[in-house]
Amino acid sequence: MMSIMFIFGLTSLIANIMMMVCLVLAKKSIYDREKFSPFECGFDQKSSSRLPFSLRFFLITIIFLIFDVEIALILPAVANIILSNSFYWFTINTSFMFILFIGLIHEWSQGALEWSN
pLDDT of 114 > 80? The answer is no
Tens digit of pLDDT for each residue in 70-83? 888 888 888 888 88
Distance in angstroms (rounded) separating the CA atoms of residues 74 and 88? 15
Percentage with pLDDT > 70 across the chain: 75
Given pLDDT bands bounded at 50, 70 and 90, which one contains residue 41?
A: low
Helix extents (H) in the chain:
2-25, 33-36, 55-79, 86-110
Write the CB contacts of 66 (distance below 8 Å, at least 6 apart in sequence): 103
Contact 63, 112 (CB under 8 A): yes
Q: Find the angle CA(109)-CA(101)-CA(55) to the nearest 5 degrees.
A: 50
